[in-house]
Amino acid sequence: MYASLRPVMQSTISIVQTTMSGELNDAEIGFWSQSIIDSNLAHCADIKKAVSIFCREGKICNTSQWQFQMAAYEVSKNTLISKIRSIQPHEIIKILCRPSESTKEYLDWVKGD
- If one counts every other C-beta atom within 10 angstroms of the C-beta of residue 7, the result is 11
Predicted pLDDT of residue 16: 95
pLDDT tens digits, residue range 19-30?
999 999 999 999
Query: In the chain, what are the domain boundaries?
Result: 3-111
Secondary structure (DSSP) of 77-113: HHHHHHHHHHH--SSS--EEEEEEEEEHHHHHHHHT-
What kind of architecture, by CATH, is found in domain 3-111? 2-Layer Sandwich (3.30)
Whether the model clears a pTM of 0.75, i.e. scores above it, the answer is: yes
Model confidence at 18: pLDDT above 90? yes
Contact between 63 and 22 (Cβ < 8 Å):
yes
pLDDT digits (tens, 9 = 90+) for 36-88: 999 989 988 999 999 999 998 899 999 999 999 999 888 889 999 999 998 88
Q: What is the pLDDT of residues 90-106, one digit of tens each?
A: 788 899 999 998 888 88
Instruction: Give the pLDDT of residue 92.
Output: 84
| Burial tier of 93 (Cβ tally within 10 Å: 0-12, 13-18, 19+) | middle
